[in-house]
Chains A and B, each alone.
Chain A
Amino acid sequence: AQKITQTQPGMFVQEKEAVTLDCTYDTSDQSYGLFWYKQPSSGEMIFLIYQGSYDEQNATEGRYSLNFQKARKSANLVISASQLGDSAMYFCAMRENDYKLSFGAGTTVTVRA
């Protein structure tokens, strides 16, 4: 069974607008971590944001925020005020068993001027 599901293979967003990337996860663990990574066309994996399962507040990092809904097992990424440099593939990942990351299939975001 898929542990991380990203249902949007590709999205277009207008520059300066916000975009929400969906991520749902499946785990029976009580303690886990959720991550978002950005992969631009150059290929590297850039860490964006982290949410722990026990964190009560939604994580924020600059223009990135994570909408964590534990009961629904969702961890959506919101990018506010999109910029052209935000065009990339975005991966949601979950850490269980203390270290192993499981990744979703990714969502490609294209920002239009």
Chain B
Amino acid sequence: NAGVMQNPRHLVRRRGQEARLRCSPVKGHSHVYWYRQLPEEGLKFMVYLQKENIIDESGMPKERFSAEFPKEGPSILRIQQVVRGDSAAYFCASSPQQSTDTQYFGPGTRLTVL
């Protein structure tokens, strides 16, 4: 009974490169959420997706960040032209049938921008 899977667990990028973070939700879960955790802080909501739809991206920076959850395959959080301030832990969570269900988190991807 696999939980939320995220890969890679650690990602190092140089300024200006692209970062792709992947999230496979719990089997059967159709709601995916991305959160960012800056050092010494709590998690901050970024985006909420259902299959093939972005429901709420109010927490996403306006530029360079995008997210998708295709019909087949994992959800992807993409950060273009990374900057040092993007260094953080990025967590994906999923919930079963309704968005009011408990969100279960993956292990996170720790992005370091050099």
Contact = CB atoms under 8 A, between A and B. Distances in A.
Given A43-B89, A45-B91, A47-B105, A99 B42 contact: no
B45 interface: yes
Contacts, number: 61
Interface residues of B, number: 27
Contacts of A106: 41-42
The DSSP consensus for interface residues of chain B is strand
A46 B41 CA distance: 16
Nearest to A102: B45
A64 interface: no
Contact of A103 (B40, B43, B56, B99): B43
B105 A45 contact: yes
B25 interface: no
Interface residues of A, number: 23
Nearest to B107: A44
A109 to B, nearest CB: 15
A104 B37 CA distance: 11
B97 interface: no
B22 interface: no
Interface string B7-40: 0000000000000000000000001010100001
A45 B31 contact: no
Nearest to B6: A44
A100 B48 contact: yes
Given A100-B56, A101-B35, 20 more contacts: A4-B42, A42-B107, A43-B107, A43-B110, A45-B93, A45-B108, A98-B99, A99-B33, A99-B55, A99-B56, A99-B99, A99-B100, A100-B45, A101-B33, A101-B43, A101-B45, A103-B35, A104-B42, A105-B42, A106-B42
